[in-house]
């Protein structure tokens, strides 16, 4: 397996308890996230739902600022930014896969509620998508929600489902404008009906976008993927498309 180590760090914006307003202007899509000027006390998962309104309100408050930032950077060309030292364009991978893990641990280490850890993970993903687009990486697969994650507390799972829906809705227009295709792999039958429909609509709407492909693995596992592959092979054998004992 090829492992690519980036020479720069992609940090979440909630990096410490004390923050200074950023003096830089975000020129590249996807959007950045406003630094928080105060710390949040840790809360237990049963109180997870109380954070939902807070994080949603924060996202809504930032929308106007983010739109202005995108307009300011609208004239930038996708390949304008040079690769960091140590990376060569001809050696860049076409497809990168990332496991989104450690959001809750990250939040707890900083005294934040777990919900803000998931929010910070989303912001890191936006930055990663932007870097992939700039550096010529054509496909990004993100392992966002494992089959094993269904055993987590219901309130946390519900928050994550809401987060998926919110982000797809808020970013769909950007995907269309930036030529980004989005699709999902995994057992979608376990997802809320509204999320299933939203994913299907987003995939259909962006399927012809040529610039970049984002694949989100939700309710997914290696075992599930192997089982699905075996089932497809079995169906092809049954339909006579594959003959046992013959090399195709």
Helices 114-135 and 48-72 pack at an angle, to 10 degrees, of 30
What pLDDT does residue 177 have? 93
Secondary structure in 3-state letters for 80-146: CCCCCCCCCHHHCCCEEEEECCCHHHHHHHCCCCHHHHHHHHHHHHHHHHHHHHHHCCCEEEEEEEE
Tens digits of residue pLDDT in 12-41: 444 443 434 433 333 444 443 334 433 333
What pLDDT does residue 246 have? 64
pLDDT of residue 2 exceeding 70: no
Q: Of 57, 76, 101, 225, which is the active-site residue? A: 101
Q: Using CA of residue 17, residue 21, residue 27, residue 32, what is the dihedral sign?
A: positive
Tens digits of residue pLDDT in 90-108: 889 999 999 988 888 999 9
Global pTM value: 0.63
pLDDT tier, 248 (very low <50, low <70, confident <90, very high otherwise) = low
Mean pLDDT for the chain?
Answer: 74
**Domain 45-238: assigned CATH number:** 3.40.1180.10
Helices 193-206 and 154-178 pack at an angle, to 10 degrees, of 20
Higher-pLDDT residue of 202 and 90 is: 202
Here the tokens at position 122 are 């989303």
What pLDDT does residue 38 have? 38
Active site residue 201: no
pLDDT tier, 175 (very low <50, low <70, confident <90, very high otherwise) = very high
Tens digits of residue pLDDT in 131-142: 999 999 999 999
Percent of the chain with pLDDT over 70: 65
């Amino acid at each position: 397996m090829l492992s690519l180590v980036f020479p720069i760090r992609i940090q979440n914006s909630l990096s410490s308890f004390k923050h200074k307003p950023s003096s830089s202007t975000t020129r590249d899509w996807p959007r950045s996230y406003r630094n928080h000027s105060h710390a949040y006390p840790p809360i237990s998962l049963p109180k997870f739902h109380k954070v939902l309104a807070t994080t949603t309100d924060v996202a809504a408050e930032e929308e106007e600022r983010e739109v202005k930032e995108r307009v300011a950077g609208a004239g930038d060309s996708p390949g304008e930014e040079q690769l960091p030292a140590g990376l060569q364009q001809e050696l860049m991978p076409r497809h990168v896969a990332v496991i989104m893990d450690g959001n809750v641990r990250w939040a707890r280490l900083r005294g934040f509620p777990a919900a803000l850890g998931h929010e910070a993970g989303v912001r890191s993903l936006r930055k990663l998508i932007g870097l992939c687009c700039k550096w010529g990486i054509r496909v990004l697969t993100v392992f966002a929600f494992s089959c094993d994650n269904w055993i987590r507390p219901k309130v946390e799972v519900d928050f994550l489902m809401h987060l998926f829906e919110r982000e797809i809705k808020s970013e769909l227009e950007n995907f269309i404008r930036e030529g980004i295709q989005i699709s999902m792999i995994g057992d979608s039958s376990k997802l809320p009906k509204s999320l299933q429909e939203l994913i299907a609509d987003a995939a259909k709407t962006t399927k012809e976008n040529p610039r970049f492909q984002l694949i989100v693995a939700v309710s997914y596992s290696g075992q599930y993927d192997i089982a699905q592959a075996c089932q497809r092979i079995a169906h092809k054998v049954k339909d006579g498309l594959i003959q046992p004992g013959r090399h195709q």
